[in-house]
Amino acid sequence: MIKYKYDGELLFAKYYANKLKDTKAMEIIESGVVKNIEEAQYLSNYFWRMVDSAIEDEKQEIRLPWGESAEFWTEKLMYSISGYLERSGYEEAWENEADKQ
C-alpha cells in the first residue's frame, strides 16, 4: 500500500483527482495499491498532471483548502508515490514518466 507520511498528502491527491475529473487516478489513490505496470504508469503520469495543475492554480493565486503550498504537498507526494512504486517493482514506470518532464 502507498504509505503517506502526512494525512494531507492523501487529501491533496484526491483534491486534484477530483479537479481533473480523473476517476481512474481516484480509484488507484483510494485503494492505495497499483495492480500492474499499466496502473503504475497511469499513477506516475497522474502525479505529473497533478503537479502541472497545482502550478497553474498557484499562478492564478487559487487558494488551496489547506494552509501549506502546493509545492509542499507535491514534494511529499513525490516521495510517497515514487517510494511505493520502487518498493513494488515499478520504479521504471516512475522513471519513464519523470524523464518526460
Q: Tens place of pLDDT for every residue, the chain, 101 residues?
A: 999 999 899 999 999 999 999 999 999 999 999 999 999 999 999 999 999 999 998 888 877 777 788 889 999 999 999 999 999 999 999 999 888 87
Residue 65: CB partners within 8 Å, gap ≥ 6? 15
Segment 58-82, tens digit of pLDDT: 888 877 777 788 889 999 999 999 9
Domains of the chain by residue range: 7-99
Quick check: helix, strand or coil at residue 60?
coil
The whole-angstrom separation of Cα 84 and Cα 55 is 24
CA dihedral 93, 4, 62, 71 (to 10 degrees): -70
- Measured distance between the N- and C-terminal CA atoms of the chain, rounded to whole angstroms: 26
